[in-house]
Structure 1
Amino acid sequence: MTTSTAIAATMPERPPPHPSRLLVAGLVVGPLFTAAYLVEGALRGDGYSPLRHPVSSLALGPQGWQQIANFVVCGLLVVLFSIGLRRTLRTGPGALAVPLLVAVWGIGLIGAGIFVTDPVGGYPTAASPVTWHGQLHDLAFSLPAFAALTLAMLTATVAFARRRSGWFALYSALSGTAFAVLFAFALIGFAGTDPWTSTAGLWQRLSVSVGWLWLALLATNRRRAARRATRRATR
Structure 2
Amino acid sequence: MTTSTRFPHATATATTAAAAADQARPAARRGSVGTRRLLACAAVAGPLWVAVSVAQALTREGFEPTRHALSQLATGSLGWLQITNFVIAGILATVGAAGLRRVMQGTAGGVAVPRLVRVVGVGMVAAGLLTMDPADAFPVGTPEGIPQSMSWHAYGHMAAGSITFASLIAAGYLFGRHFSRLGNRRLAVVSRVSATVMLAGDAWSMSGGKAGALTMAIGTTVMFTLLAYVAAHYRRTA
Q: Same fold (TM over 0.5)?
A: yes
Instruction: Report which stretch shifted further, 53-62 or 10-19.
Output: 10-19
What is the DSSP-based 3-state SS (H/G/I as helix, E as strand, rest coil) of the residue aligned with 2:207?
helix
Q: Deviations over 1:72-95 (max 9, x none)?
A: 011111112111111222322222
Q: Which amino acid aligns with 2:221?
A: S
Match of 2:89 in 1: 74
2:63 maps to 1:48: yes
Q: What root-mean-square deviation, in Å, do the aligned CA atoms of Structure 1 and Structure 2 show?
A: 2.2
Q: Is the 8 A contact 1:54 1:120 kept in 2?
A: no
Q: Deviations over 1:118-170 (max 9, x none)?
A: 3444533335121111111102x100100001110111111221222222111
Match of 2:227 in 1: 215
Q: Is the 8 A contact 1:72 1:110 kept in 2?
A: yes
Deviation at 1:106, TM superposition (A): 1.1
Deviation at 1:185, TM superposition (A): 1.3
Deviation at 1:99, TM superposition (A): 0.8
What is the DSSP-based 3-state SS (H/G/I as helix, E as strand, rest coil) of the residue aligned with 1:69?
helix
Matched-pair identity in %? 33
Q: Is the 8 A contact 2:194 2:219 kept in 1?
A: no
Deviation at 1:186, TM superposition (A): 1.9
State the alpha-carbon separation in 1 of the partners of residues 42 and 214 from structure 2.
Answer: 23
| Long gaps (5+) in structure 2 | 1-6
State the alpha-carbon separation in 2 of the partners of residues 95 and 8 from structure 1.
Answer: 33
What is the DSSP-based 3-state SS (H/G/I as helix, E as strand, rest coil) of the residue aligned with 2:106?
coil
2:161 maps to 1:165: no
| Long gaps (5+) in structure 1 | 190-195, 227-235
The structure with higher relative contact order (CA 8 Å, sep 6+) is 1
Q: Which amino acid aligns with 1:170?
A: V
Q: Is the 8 A contact 1:25 1:77 kept in 2?
A: yes
Query: Where do residues 141-220 of structure 1 align in structure 2 (5 Å cutoff)?
Result: 141-189=160-208, 196-197=209-210, 199-220=211-232
Q: TM-score, normalized by length of structure 1?
A: 0.83
Match of 1:11 in 2: 20
2:126 maps to 1:111: yes
Deviation at 1:8, TM superposition (A): 4.4
Structure whose alpha-carbon radius of gyration is higher: 2
Q: Deviations over 1:169-212 (max 9, x none)?
A: 111111111111111112223xxxxxx24x12211210111111
State the alpha-carbon separation in 2 of the partners of residues 44 and 55 from structure 1.
Answer: 11
Instruction: Report which stretch shifted further, 86-95 or 199-208.
Output: 86-95
Between the two proteins, the alignment pairs up a number of residues equal to 217
